[in-house]
Amino acid sequence: MTILFAPSEGKKSGGPLPPIDKSAFCFPELYPRRIEVVERYDSFVKTAPIEALQKLFDIKDISAIEHYRANIFERPTMRVVERYDGVAYDYLDYTNLPGRAKIYIDEHLIIFSNLFGPVCAKDRIPEYKLKQGEPIDDFALERFYKECFGKLLDDYLETYGPVVDLHAGFHEKFYKIPMPYITIKFLKNGKTVSHWAKAYRGIVLKNMARYGIMDEKSLLAMDIENLSVPSSKSERQKTEKRSYTR
């Protein structure tokens, strides 16, 4: 079982772990390609005018911008799943999961970082700021990672399937799943839920970890408060599970 998940633009500061190196990431054979991007980012944030950084970071506070100009290669790190601080991660509540559920997340979750590309939950990353979809001086990160990591991810998911896609639609620009996979659509009163979708993704992931879900049948059988999964719809390679809020 492999679960694909989105990052969050919000991130916790600091970290108890050392700066990034080759051991910080899964797929170490492609570490040099990640570093190409990180070096480009680091150089740009050190030299670009404030106006360009306001756009890159999507913030206006100049003092906050200065905080992110520090050398990213010298920043302390923390585990990816603990670094991100958005709604989905609040509802996942990784810190308070029991030990076996944490191990499940560590071993089965791939997150599509806007800066670092596909990373595993237990990888280490520093604090950084980057607006989703924003290029670094006309350099499109999603296109780069799609070209560099696509084949490797294909092989990985073929080996460690089935695949559950819980990441946002934007991240298909980083990677488009070529094999059969399962995704979940959240509906209320027959309409797609958008505002609370991040929260529901976190809730589903949390319960998958608690139950140790490893197959589609077990996923459908999960008992989640305020959610039900009564039907499915198959379209080519995607199996869409329609999850209804009660």
pLDDT digits (tens, 9 = 90+) for 58-112: 998 888 898 999 999 999 999 999 999 999 999 999 999 999 999 999 999 999 9
Q: DSSP character for 18?
A: P
Domain containing 143 equals: 2-245
pLDDT for 196 equals: 82
Distance of CA 207 to the CA centre of its chain: 17
Look at the chain and report how many structural domains it folds into: 1
pLDDT for 50 equals: 94
Closest listed residue to residue 117, CA positions, set 58, 70, 174: 174
46-59 residue pLDDT tens: 999 999 999 999 99
Instruction: Give CA–CA dist 78/18, Å, rounded.
Output: 8
Q: Are 222 and 211 in contact (CB under 8 A)?
A: yes
Q: Are 146 and 126 in contact (CB under 8 A)?
A: no
Question: Which residues lie closer than 8 Å to 126 by C-beta, 6 or more apart?
Answer: 15, 19, 20, 72, 75, 76, 77
Closest listed residue to residue 165, CA positions, set 141, 178, 150, 182: 182
3-state secondary structure of 1: coil
pLDDT for 233 equals: 45
What pLDDT tens digit does each residue of the chain (246 aa) get? Answer: 999 999 998 999 999 999 999 999 999 999 999 999 999 999 999 999 999 999 999 998 888 898 999 999 999 999 999 999 999 999 999 999 999 999 999 999 999 999 999 999 999 999 999 998 899 988 999 899 999 999 999 999 999 999 999 987 666 788 889 998 988 888 777 777 766 888 989 999 999 999 999 998 898 888 777 666 554 444 445 555 555 555
Closest listed residue to residue 121, CA positions, set 100, 94, 144: 94
At 19, list the tokens: 């700066």
pLDDT for 171 equals: 67
Looking up tokens 């890159």, which residue turns up? 56
Encode burial over 32-57: b for 16+ CB neighbours within 10 A, e otherwise: eebbebbeebbeebeebeeeebbebb
Q: Are 24 and 115 in contact (CB under 8 A)?
A: no
Closest listed residue to residue 65, CA positions, set 89, 84, 79, 45: 45
Q: Are 41 and 130 in contact (CB under 8 A)?
A: yes
Q: Are 12 and 83 in contact (CB under 8 A)?
A: yes
CA angle 216, 203, 242 (to 5 degrees): 50
Instruction: Give CA–CA dist 6/25, Å, rounded.
Output: 17
pLDDT for 63 equals: 84
Q: Are 185 and 243 in contact (CB under 8 A)?
A: yes
pLDDT for 172 equals: 77
Instruction: Give CA–CA dist 172/177, Å, rounded.
Output: 8
